[in-house]
Amino acid sequence: MSELLERIERLNEIGIALSAESNTRRLLELIVMGAKSLTRADGGSLYLLKQNMLSFEIISNDTLDIQMGGTSGNEITFPPISLFKDGKENHANVVSHCVLTGETINISDAYHEDGFDFTGTRYFDSNTGYRTRSILTFPLKDHEKETIGVLQLINARDFESGESHQL
């Protein structure tokens, strides 16, 4: 019960901080950091939808000590992800599929999931020594219920052990 109360208190704190923030870059950071905190995720990325492309706005990973975009001063060099490839909807990438369908996607292990292309994930993992497991991806919508971006959380951690598990 105390864990639930702590999460509710944290959610309230996040809501207050979000409502008071006027700097868009800082606001996006608060969204990612708040979501990571509530889900105990090791990493998170926020993408904004611009002209049928999802551009990285925030990338955060605790294990790798990575903070990119937002107010970090660290430029994001990853290319945007297109919603369309060769004139067809791009359902190969989790984030583009999320936008195209409006679905929340919960993957327990990216290395054992069929239906999506995790080439970029595996490339990142091989270059950093990281191991992406669980992924939770959901659309971000504005007050008119239009999808404006995607929030993706990576590798939930167990509260007591700190080990990764499904989000």
Kindly list the structural domains of the chain, giving each domain's residue range(s) and its CATH number in brackets, ordered by start: 39-165 (3.30.450.40)
Q: How far is the C-alpha of 29 from the C-alpha of 27, rounded, in Å?
A: 5
% the chain with pLDDT above 70: 82
Choice among 59-63, 123-127, 150-154, 157-161 with the minimum mean pLDDT: 157-161
Spatial CA neighbour of 151 closest among 121, 109, 106: 106
Condensed to tens digits (0 to 9), the pLDDT of residues 66-99 reads 999 999 999 999 999 999 999 999 999 999 999 9
pLDDT of 44 over the 80 cut: yes
Question: What's the pTM value of the predicted model, to 2 decimals?
Answer: 0.85
